[in-house]
Chains A and B, each alone.
Chain A
Amino acid sequence: MSAKEVKTGIHFINGDEACCEGALAAGCRFFAGYPITPATEVAESMSRRLPEIGGIYIQMEDEIASMAAILGASWGGVKSMTSTSGPGFSLMMENIGLGICTETPCVVCNVQRAGPSTGLPTLVAQGDMMQARWGSHGHYEIIALSPSSPQEMFDFTIRAFNLSEYYRLPVILLADETIGHMTERVVVPPEEEIEIVNRRKPAVSREEYLPYEADPDGIAPMANCGDGYRIHVTGLTHDERGYPAMDAKAQEKMVTRLVDKIRNNRDKIISTKNLFLDDAEVVVVSYGISARSSMQAVQDARREGIKAGLIKLDTVWPFPEDLIRAVAASSKTMIMAEINGGQMVLELERAACGACPVRLVSNYGGAILHPGLILSSIAKAAKGKL
């Protein structure tokens, strides 16, 4: 039996398995992880699939080690990922910061469950949105994608790898328990139709190469370990040579570049799916499983004659503030639907900047949002009630 790296065809699999297949299709050949509900199926799938195509699966002693190991593997030139849920995501924060600072491509899948702490291990939530954005110490920019179906688990995992390889940072796949455990049709396209991005390699000799000197678009070409460049990589603030530079000027320069390489390219990174925005008066903004509840609610509202619209955030970070600003200016009300006490709604309020009222439909986790709940919020907003 010869195992396939890309399982072209139509499958009936759950979101976690789709994530695994997406990773392999993107070229991932190293997975380090630790079992945790509801992300365990990603690791289990990887443990079966990677050895048969010449990759490495290793179960580490904890999530701290898992995150460290995928950074090491990435510097070894192998596309790498880990998967986890809330408690493990908390443990990964320190080394996600190392990945940001050293500009290490890799993918972290967080299949969110309800917290705080051990919370509800088997039940859905979307409570790690701000942790994904700000969880590691210091100032930085992050890229996070939020799939709303097993198909998107497959598609977005590939995109997460492509973004991580291009922009050189850990990219977060912010899934949730419902999407991870939901089984649906997943179409895996032929290998040649899948777009793959690989990290930019240095075009100069060892003597001329400066590991952290960026090209005009803000991205520095990356030499892997063993390429002969004898690189130094450190989590300390560093200069273009990669050497520690312990002063405010070097800090300003390094962090500015880490932030700008994402901010200045945000139009290329940000992806949303917009529904009925042309004439929408009440616009729901949502992501992940909540975007599916919202989609139902918006369609129901339309049937009732309410001019409702939807912005589904495929990328939650960076936040599409330009789009929101424009839509807010022509909307009566905007609504954020999410399974937490109100996290992305803060971003929505910030971006809408008072141009229209912003409402929140949410719960603290444990159950998905009922479309009826969102519909009634839309209906109230349409009547001008707050």
Chain B
Amino acid sequence: MITAKTAKNLPPHPMDSLLRTERIPHIWCPGCGIGTVFSAVIHSVKNSGWDPNNIAMVSGIGCTGRMAGYIRLDSFHTTHGRALPFATGLKLAKPDTKIIVVSGDGDLFAIGGNHFIHAARRNMDLTVICVNNLNYGMTGGQQGPSTPLGAKTTTTVNGSPEEPFNFCYLAAACGATYVARWTAMQVRSLRSSISEALDKRGFSFVEVITPCPSSFGRRNRMGTALEMLKFYHGRSVIRSDIDPRDASMDIDREIVVGKFVDIERPTFMDHYEKVNRLNSPQWRAMHPDQKAR
């Protein structure tokens, strides 16, 4: 087991330049899928060609929210559900900065659901990575907006009486320009989707179905972390480019994975400049092709 003491004696890792190594070991449970997603994000950042000083990470609260504390970028661990509006302000203040928002399903879609809808509608130029572990992990495993109907959590001991959200369908409906879903076992596809999402201008969204063996898995008798990974992977069916409404997310039947949306749409700033700066001489000089509305 790697402890703070033994970690100091480990040889350097190729990704160390993007890690706050002094903060390792991290707080995530053994077998948690967040590490896989974190690793995929770091790979994509490293391979993106962007200057790391021009990339920032914004997170909300929860297990996934802690990612911001381990990445060696300008990183902001904000309040529960508010990562997206915080990132919106940051992006508008620094339009040339690439901003990655990472958070869990509860943070992004329950307490932060309204912000998600509007950030996608505005097509804010942000990349949003949602680690969906089907419950609230940090607080010990309560029911959330993604908890499957009938699943057991500490607040639904007889099974959840609610239908869960389909986040990819929601993201597409709200206007996201890039939408993809993978399970944490499909690492190569996940990395390539995160890279595509980072390259995308506009609101890009990647959902990752990850095991939470300590809470969700344990209460629903899903076995070890590896068995959970294999279970989600076994339920997954790759169906890229289908209508997002058919991209079902049902762990009892099938988890449709793939890339569902990849479109071009003007961002908030594109529209803002067009409607507000048309009469500004400086702006017109900068964008001679935009003279006419």
Contacts and interface: CB of A to CB of B under 8 A. Distances in A.
Contacts of B36: none
Interface in B70-91: 72-79, 82, 84-91
B269 to A, nearest CB: 9
A68 B93 contact: no
A280 B173 CA distance: 68
A72 B58 contact: yes
A65 B88 CA distance: 9
Contacts of B279: 1
Given A56-B272, A65-B85, A230-B52, A75 B90 contact: yes
> A-B pairs with the 4 shortest C-beta distances?
A76-B93, A72-B89, A69-B89, A51-B276
Given A76-B93, A77-B94, A69 B75 contact: no
Contact of A69 (B79, B88, B280): B88
B245 interface: no
B8 interface: no
A60 interface: yes
A9 B89 CA distance: 32
Contacts of B84: 65
11 contacts: A32-B89, A58-B88, A60-B88, A68-B89, A72-B85, A77-B93, A95-B82, A98-B79, A227-B53, A230-B52, A233-B75
Contact of B89 (A30, A98, A232, A234): A30
Given A68-B86, A72-B88, A234-B69, 4 more contacts: A56-B92, A75-B90, A94-B82, A230-B52
Interface footprint category on B: 35 or more
A232 B20 contact: yes
A75 B78 CA distance: 12
B89 to A, nearest CB: 3
Contact of A230 (B23, B74, B93): B74
A26 interface: no
Interface string A215-235: 000000000011111111111
Interface in A36-94: 51-52, 56, 58, 60-62, 64-66, 68-78, 80, 94
A72 B277 contact: no
Contacts of B20: 232, 243
Interface footprint category on A: 35 or more
A326 interface: no
A64 B23 CA distance: 31
A253 B269 CA distance: 41
Contact of A76 (B69, B82, B97, B277): B97
A236 interface: yes
B54 interface: yes
Interface in A244-276: 244
B154 to A, nearest CB: 22
A34 to B, nearest CB: 11
A240 to B, nearest CB: 13
